[in-house]
Structure 1
């Protein structure tokens, strides 16, 4: 069984988290059955960017990295205090621990910024939210990252990053493919209606 840690800082975007729960859930029931996703919060109760309240299955201090095969991290909004939680030292340490063990790390949109702040993207290719101001991409570059500004999804070794919420399903499917196989991923995509 491949176990995925879905790390949820306060202020995360629900849609960016839900793609991981849906794709891995569909795989568990309709695909090869080899994935299990566990929601892990920075606190016992979280408020999403758009005011959903979420109660995760675990809290970050209870995570044992060796019990997981991948780490996923959605983005969020500044006004919802996403960065306050996502830049906490325990979050950054968890990211580093997953990377040190060469486990897959998948982020969506500004979920790449905590990866950059942790140092795991230093000197590597990645992307983050693309807007007319390029503020978030500039912030990622300041962490020593080779920002691929016009590439929707960037895979560099064990790390997947993307540049907006529209890429979310593609990131989740790429993660599924890396954890299982291309054939299994295509079958899950077909069953979910993404391919005919």
Structure 2
């Protein structure tokens, strides 16, 4: 079974976090949510999220993927956390998946994970990130083991693509069909 860590920072974008967590769990993927500070997370729109564990405890195990939800404040806090940056570099070095949506691709860039790669993000989030080939109009961009997405409106496509990468296209289709969402509504995904 694939395992995924979703670090949750104060001020994260709840729609992105919950969509990714929910859809990956529907696919039978082992998802661990971890609060950076060990406290309930006050998300950007006032929703309180209670993580499974604190980040320090979550880092005691290995993951196939780490997914960073966006939200300007949440992304800023993720980017300032050296534990997150170290984890991103570790996964990237071992060619495991790193994924980020909305403002969080900036965290990947800050950790050096996006150097020489194609990516997308919330408009303006990667403008000052040299070495990144911005694919701004794309909802989801996959470049090797790095996956990025634009924002809350692309969260479902992002999550379904993550399922596909971890457990195959058939599993992603099964999850999507159970949601009563026709596959033809899936937005184009750019493969580098």
Identify the TM-score tier after normalising by the shorter chain.
0.7 to 0.9
SS in structure 2 at match of 1:67: coil
Higher relative helix content:
1
Q: What is the root-mean-square deviation of aligned Cα atoms in Å?
A: 1.7
1:37 to 23, 31, 40: 31
**Aligned-pair CA distance for 1:154:** 0.8
TM-score (norm 1): 0.85
Match of 2:87 among 88, 91, 94: 94
Secondary structure of the corresponding residue to residue 129 of structure 1: coil
- Against the structure 1 CA distance between its residues 65 and 161, is the aligned structure 2 distance closer, same or farther, given a 3 Å change threshold? farther
Change (3 A) 1:58 1:158: same
Answer yes or no: is the 8 Å Cα contact 1:8–1:42 preserved in 2.
Answer: yes
Which contiguous aligned blocks of 4+ residues in structure 1 show a shift greater than 4 angstroms?
A: none
Deviations 1:116-161 (A, max 9, x none): 100011111111102xxxx32313xx24211112222110001110
Alignment: residue pair count: 182
Contact 1:125–1:156 (CA<8 Å) still a contact in 2? yes
**Tell me, which stretches of 5 or more residues in structure 1 are unaligned?**
29-34
> Which residue of the partner structure matches residue 27 of structure 2?
27
Give the Cα separation in 1 of the matches to 2:112 and 2:8.
19
- Structure 2: gaps (5+ residues): 184-192
C-alpha distance in structure 1 between counterparts of 2:77 and 2:181, whole Å: 35
